[in-house]
Amino acid sequence: MHLAAQIAAALVALIHVYIVLLETVLFNSRGRRVFGLSKEKAEIMQAAMSNQGCYNGFLVAALVVGFVHPDPATASAFTVFGLACVAVAGVWGAATVKRSILLIQTLPAVIGLALHFAA
């Protein structure tokens, strides 16, 4: 079960690496298409999306610390913190932006948390 929890957390981290890239360096190309924004709307939103990408990067950082920290208790705390933050951010995103965020962000994070606590 521990391996399944690690795989789930790694998947959540990878999803968020992709989201960071979409919201920052790829925003004017692939990001704009993924988010369904016109060129004009994307120009207005670019700075805010880049800022949001920065925050998503912090979620990735917490999950990465959970993988690399030598103390198991501290590593576990970072993993739980990272997954919980992703789950809450996903619920908020689904309520305020697009419901599919529940499936893309929240569900993998909740599965990761469940597997982590079951391990």
Q: Model pTM?
A: 0.92
CA distances from 90 to 68, 79, 101, 102 (A): 25, 16, 6, 6
* C-alpha dihedral (14, 52, 54, 26), degrees to nearest 10: 70
How many CB atoms lie under 10 A from the CB of residue 39? 8
What residue ranges do the domains of the chain occupy? Answer: 2-118
CA distances from 53 to 79, 85, 98, 117 (A): 19, 14, 17, 28
pLDDT in tens, 27-73: 999 999 999 999 999 999 999 999 999 999 999 999 999 999 999 99
pLDDT of 1 over the 80 cut: no
